[in-house]
Amino acid sequence: MPGLTGVSHVELTVSDVDRSARWYREVLGFDTVLVETDAPDFFEGRVISLLRPDLGLAIGLVQHQDGDRGRFSEFRVGLDHLAFAADSRSDLEAWTEHFDRHGVPYSAINDMPYASVVVFRDPDGIQLELFALPA
């Protein structure tokens, strides 16, 4: 089987790319690295590419000109959720305090035998998680 070296990036369709980019920067600490508008050979719309170098992860936020403006649902075919790894349950506690300061609703920390999880959503309702394996 051919090799893979990791995950390069994730692209999420959003209803308002500027609002979402601001949220991902302020709440999750991503940096804007590229803003693209109307790549005619590919699509009509806007893309803002964000990066967290410490994670080695880029997220592209895509606003299609003629896109569906409905809210995200994990019950439709496609993305269910995107999970970010955290080092420990205490890091999840620190994240919930950070979310409180930014007005981000979130679930209680759910402790399971295999991990502790906090669920939250971006401005379009895309389900996100923080996931910490047990020590």
Residue 48, class by beta-carbon neighbours within 10 Å (0-12 exposed, 13-18 middle, 19+ buried)?
buried
Task: Let me know whether 2 and 56 are in one domain.
Answer: yes
**Which of residues 41, 67, 93 is at a domain's end?**
67
Number of domains in the chain: 2
pLDDT of residue 42: 66
Q: For residue 41, what are the domain limits?
A: 1-67
Element (H, E) at 19: helix 17-28
Percent of the chain with pLDDT over 90: 70
Query: Could you tell me which residue, 28 or 67, shows the higher pLDDT?
Result: 28
| CATH at 45 | 3.10.180.10
| pLDDT 10s digits, 111-125 | 999 999 999 999 999
In a domain, 26, yes or no: yes
pLDDT of residue 132: 96
Task: Identify whether the C-beta of residue 71 lies closer than 8 Å to the C-beta of residue 123.
Answer: no
CA distances in angstroms from 83 to 36, 45, 68, 70, 132, listed in the order given: 26, 26, 24, 22, 10
| pLDDT 10s digits, 2-52 | 988 888 899 999 999 999 999 999 999 999 998 887 666 667 888 999 999
In a domain, 73, yes or no: no
